[in-house]
A and B are shown apart, each in its own frame.
Chain A
């Protein structure tokens, strides 16, 4: 079930995703953007620890596992970004007093990692069949020394860039759900990057639709 998308005017690297590839989790997905690759597994709604129980909604936990070693401060900050984005798109109030767990395992980092985490998270949650109010996707933009905007940069491009921004875009209104930036930039550049990300998000959302359609093609 491997699919690959080419690139046109807003250039994203080739991206692809595979769903339900793990047997134990309730939903799983791998997401690949160029050489960046992430594996996501979603569990839930499952039993919740009493200390983490919330009376009117489900508890969502996001765990990011680096390639080696234990998750550090950087992973924690990324976890927070992914978790709050997922919380806004999931209908957590439909499963009160239960727990949802999303595990993101980094396979290979070649730039645009946070956006890859977001995309993998969205596909895995969709695969698990959890109720969602909207879909979202992540897009990373880098501004290089000449002021050119590069979407979906590689690690080398990220290193040379003057500023780096990652946005989560929601599927219904194409608005910014999450933003995380590095480096300094002007207001105009920010608005430009948001516009470019919104354009790039269309491709990812179309890809989501195609891959789900392919998945259900046998039961149509």
Chain B
């Protein structure tokens, strides 16, 4: 099943490309046949028994049957469970409005912080940066952020402290930085030790030992988006020699 689709994994596809999801005619008698369901990630749509591509990019696959399109996009579209860096823009009553770079602002309840109660309000000002997670993100409702996980712990989320620098990179690079064994990140960490927060919305926050080094890291990350691995390593090495 999905053999046509699996052949195309790692290839570039365009909107309008189609795949058939019909079950194969031959059923193996020895193995137990499990009804398989394909899981469509971003950029893929199901229409009846057909699978349609709706974004240009590279087809990716994860066992057993998850497929998605890896595309280079700049505008962030929220998805449930993703963590982003937002900027508090409005404080109104019991919710904050947070700009995360999408089509509308997300709401963030003041109770959605670790240890916050009606009496004990978190200290959040307009202009503060928050690292938070989407609990509601669908096209028909206002997106909603929280700064706690399901057990009520901050788990790294919350308001950012003083210092550091916020900048933006492409969404593709942000995803690459967040992948479990990110080469970019390991290249960077060996040469420039720093604190780095990556939001899925392409916003990055960096703090290191000096302002100069923070700026160097910022520039390196912004420029390594369109580079191949050897090019990037060369650049990092040159920067390390020049900066140190």
Q: Please give the residue numbers on chain A whose beta carbons come within 8 Å of chain B beta carbons, in ascending order.
A: 20, 25-27, 43-48, 89, 91, 94-99, 126, 128-135, 171-172, 208-209, 212-213, 215-216, 218-220
- Which residue of A20, A98, A213, A220 contacts B103 across the interface (Cβ within 8 Å)? A98
Q: Which of A26, A129, A134, A171 has the most CB of B within 10 A?
A: A129
B70 CB contacts on chain A under 8 angstroms: 219
A130 CB contacts on chain B under 8 angstroms: 55
Which B residue's beta carbon lies closest to that of A217?
B12
The 9 closest A-B pairs by CB, nearest first: A129-B73, A132-B15, A134-B16, A98-B103, A26-B75, A131-B54, A45-B103, A213-B12, A26-B74
- Which residue of A27, A126, A220 contacts B14 across the interface (Cβ within 8 Å)? A126
With contacts A126-B56, A132-B54, A171-B16 taken as known, whether A95 is within 8 angstroms of B139 at the C-beta atoms is: yes
- Decide yes or no whether B57 CB sits under 8 A from chain A: yes
Asked if residues A218 and B228 are in contact (CB atoms below 8 Å), the reply is yes
B79 to chain A, nearest CB (A): 12
Asked if residues B103 and A132 are in contact (CB atoms below 8 Å), the reply is no
Asked if residues B55 and A216 are in contact (CB atoms below 8 Å), the reply is no
Which B residue's beta carbon lies closest to that of A25?
B74
With contacts A45-B77, A46-B103 taken as known, whether A133 is within 8 angstroms of B10 at the C-beta atoms is: no
A215 CB contacts on chain B under 8 angstroms: 72
Which A residue's beta carbon lies closest to that of B228?
A218
B74 CB contacts on chain A under 8 angstroms: 25-27, 128-129
The 21 sampled A-B contact pairs (Cβ below 8 Å) are A26-B74, A45-B102, A45-B103, A89-B15, A91-B54, A95-B77, A96-B139, A98-B103, A126-B15, A126-B56, A128-B74, A128-B75, A129-B73, A131-B15, A131-B45, A132-B54, A134-B15, A212-B14, A212-B56, A213-B12, A220-B58
- Decide yes or no whether B172 CB sits under 8 A from chain A: yes
Which A residue's beta carbon lies closest to that of B15?
A132
Q: How far apart sit A204 and B151, CA to CA, in the bound complex (Å)?
A: 54
Q: How far apart sit A94 and B75, CA to CA, in the bound complex (Å)?
A: 14
B229 to chain A, nearest CB (A): 9
B78-94: contact bitstring with A at CB < 8 Å (1 yes, 0 no)? 00000000000000000
Asked if residues B16 and A132 are in contact (CB atoms below 8 Å), the reply is yes
B225 to chain A, nearest CB (A): 9
With contacts A131-B54, A133-B52 taken as known, whether A209 is within 8 angstroms of B103 at the C-beta atoms is: no
Q: How far apart sit A130 and B226, CA to CA, in the bound complex (Å)?
A: 21
Which A residue's beta carbon lies closest to that of B74?
A26
A134 CB contacts on chain B under 8 angstroms: 15-16
